Amino acid sequence: MNYLYINNKKYKFEKGNSLLNIIQLNKLGMESPCGGKGTCGKCKIKVVDGSVDDLTDEELKFLNKEELKNNVRLGCLVYPKGDITAEFIKSEDKNHKILTEGYMPEFNKSPMLSKKAFKLNKPTLENNISLEEILEKQNININNDYDILKSIPSIFEKDNCTVVYLDEKVIGIECEDTTENLYSIALDIGTTTVVASLIDINKQCEIDCESDINPQKEYGLDVLSRINFAKTNENGLEILNKSIIDCINSLIIKLCEKNNINKENIYELAVAANTTMMHILLKINPNSIGKAPYSPVFISGKSIKAMDLGINISSFGRAYLLPGVSSYIGADIVSGICVCDLHKTKKNILFIDIGTNGEIVVSKNSELSSCSCAAGPALEGMNISCGMRAGEGAIENIKIGEFIETKVIGNTKPKGLCGSGIIDAISEMARLKLIGSTGRINKKSMIEKDNNLKHLSENIIDENKKRRFVLDTQNPQIAITQSDIRQVQLAKGAILSGFYALLNSMNIDIKDLDEVIIAGQFGKHLSVQSLVGVGIIPKELKEKIRYIGNSSKTGAIMTLLSKDIRKEMECIAKDISYCELSTEEGYERLFTDCLKF
């Protein structure tokens, strides 16, 4: 047995594991956006002491001179040969911005969850019927629920009790009158972030909200890397499942403490998430989602005892998982459709959730069709040379004029660019024609000849046959490389071609689109100018864009507050058709056309 020494602690490991694997198995926190394939360069770690493999060519692609001098390596490509001492080198999640707000439509409130207090009749010598029968005579039918049956003796020690109903069915009985305390939680589990809203069912409103980074990010940034982690690691699925359950429980504790609420008074959890997150939440192998023919194990809505999932709310509380459509159109998107009433509209509306996966839905006179495109992590700042999450030190806005103006999260020295910063930069570069329509950065000599651009010629650097555009000549590490532009180009090509393919399949001309709705964490941070500038959204639609924020969470709240909405969601999920882009005629050509700036 060998030991890893890190953070002043030691951890056992067996030889044959990569340093990344050892760190992740010990839950020490390290991102692996590419799932440990050695292609993202984000698992950098300093090897302080110990014998490891020699540097590989793959690693050299991601490490600069300074890092090589300091013995920085890629954790996923380093296999310790014995005891090893290592040091983490950066954390990007500080002050990570999480979108918790969203547009909330008007709707009729009629929660499924309710409570009623009873004065208990007691047995007498003359009428010593069973306690269960007494309850039945008071119209409290426990429907042979074993857990409720076991609670009856303690309930009858008091004079009053409170019955908790879900859709008019008894789910539990509590001693005394507890009708004042009736809470639920709406949960949005995104691949990157988790948001939990505390709902007061009596007052029929949201009273607080907490959020966190999805801790599964350490095992891969996108759903495919997580599926791969579950598949290729012993206990991989259990590790992913435990990390999300722990995160949910800690958000619940925070909400309870802040609002002085007992977790026993939370009786339901409504979960909106993509299909992979739902599988992992239920500890169901998501492998089939990741390979053709991409059939998920389940997509229908589910009501499951929260305790069976390890979620700490009332001992008889339920977790309701909203329904999804397919492996890549999940309950989070169904939620968004319902929030925007796309299933009822008479207009032509395009709904898009931009992230690692771009999910697109078109409603034509309330007929719904959807597609999903693999945009990859570039738009979230990953697989980008200076990319980082939207945390402290990330450049989030860029304007190129006489000078290059940047806005940095936390107002600190810039450490890199987050997704919106990268899109801003490339959009500005395209606007100024610093890049051509194919995405190539123009030569320094060409820029020098242009009177409007020559002041930027110093920002173009050619080194080792590679060209990059630096944002600050005093700090030349922060730059947009040719390969970064290629990554963004692929992402934009995937989304825009999905967009057009779906409109074609619905016979809608772009000029007939009434509205483009942008949902989700990432889209919210992209300005109309950047979206149009980089070409993710065609410029004809510039005036028709509306942002609705976190519609996944809003939909989950609505299912808790309205039984009609819950039924509507089930219908919406069944009514959406799904368009598989790879089988669409002419899609390849469309994709190539959409790569152009």
Binding residues for ligand FES restricted to 341-360, rule: CB under 6 A: none
Residue with tokens 């992230």: 355
Q: Are 524 and 190 in contact (CB under 8 A)?
A: no
Helix (H) or strand (E) holding 24: helix 19-25
Q: Is 42 in the site for ligand FES (CB under 6 A)?
A: yes
Q: Are 536 and 354 in contact (CB under 8 A)?
A: yes
CB atoms within 10 A of CB 451: 7
Pick the closer one to ligand FES by CB: 20 or 189.
20
Pick the closer one to ligand FES by CB: 40 or 569.
40
Pick the closer one to ligand FES by CB: 33 or 535.
33
Stretch that binds ligand FES, among 34-42, 203-211, 434-442, 578-586 (CB under 6 A): 34-42
Integer Cα distance of 268 and 289 in angstroms: 28
Pick the closer one to ligand FES by CB: 76 or 255.
76
**Tokens of residue 577, six digits:** 């058709």
Integer Cα distance of 569 and 509 in angstroms: 28
Q: Is 378 in the site for ligand FES (CB under 6 A)?
A: no
Integer Cα distance of 518 and 350 in angstroms: 9
Task: Name which of 292, 298, 351, 356 is nearest 326 in CA terms.
Answer: 298
Pick the closer one to ligand FES by CB: 151 or 228.
228
Select the residue interacting with ligand FES from 36, 376, 393, 419 (CB under 6 A): 36
347, amino acid identity: K
Pick the closer one to ligand FES by CB: 38 or 393.
38
Pick the closer one to ligand FES by CB: 20 or 163.
20
Q: Are 388 and 403 in contact (CB under 8 A)?
A: no
Pick the closer one to ligand FES by CB: 42 or 467.
42
**Tokens of residue 414, six digits:** 């810039």
Q: Is 221 in the site for ligand FES (CB under 6 A)?
A: no
Q: Is 40 in the site for ligand FES (CB under 6 A)?
A: yes
Select the residue interacting with ligand FES from 34, 518, 519, 565 (CB under 6 A): 34
Tell me the residue nearest to ligand FES as measured from the CB.
Answer: 76
Q: How far is the CB of 74 from ligand FES (least distance, A)?
A: 5
Positions of E strands within 151-279: 160-166, 169-175, 183-189, 193-200, 205-213, 266-273
Select the residue interacting with ligand FES from 24, 41, 326, 493 (CB under 6 A): 41
Q: How far is the CB of 535 from ligand FES (least distance, A)?
A: 28
Q: How far is the CB of 79 from ligand FES (least distance, A)?
A: 13
Region of 594 (left: φ > 0; alpha: ψ -120 to 50; beta: rest) is alpha
Binding residues for ligand FES restricted to 310-339, rule: CB under 6 A: none
Binding residues for ligand FES restricted to 230-269, rule: CB under 6 A: none
Question: How many residues sit close enough to ligand FES to count as binding (CB under 6 A)?
Answer: 14
Q: Is 487 in the site for ligand FES (CB under 6 A)?
A: no
Q: Is 43 in the site for ligand FES (CB under 6 A)?
A: yes
Pick the closer one to ligand FES by CB: 206 or 222.
222
Binding residues for ligand FES restricted to 70-109, rule: CB under 6 A: 74-76
**Tokens of residue 519, six digits:** 């949902």
DSSP 410: G
Integer Cα distance of 231 and 226 in angstroms: 9
Q: Please, how many CA atoms are within 13 Å of residue 458, restricted to the half-sphere of its CB?
A: 10
Q: Is 163 in the site for ligand FES (CB under 6 A)?
A: no
**Tokens of residue 56, six digits:** 């590989």
CB atoms within 10 A of CB 475: 11
Pick the closer one to ligand FES by CB: 475 or 483.
483
Stretch that binds ligand FES, among 39-47, 244-252, 398-406, 547-555 (CB under 6 A): 39-47
Calculate the alpha carbon distances from 381 to 418, 477, 527 in Å: 5, 16, 16
Binding site for ligand FES (CB under 6 A): 20, 32-34, 36, 38-43, 74-76
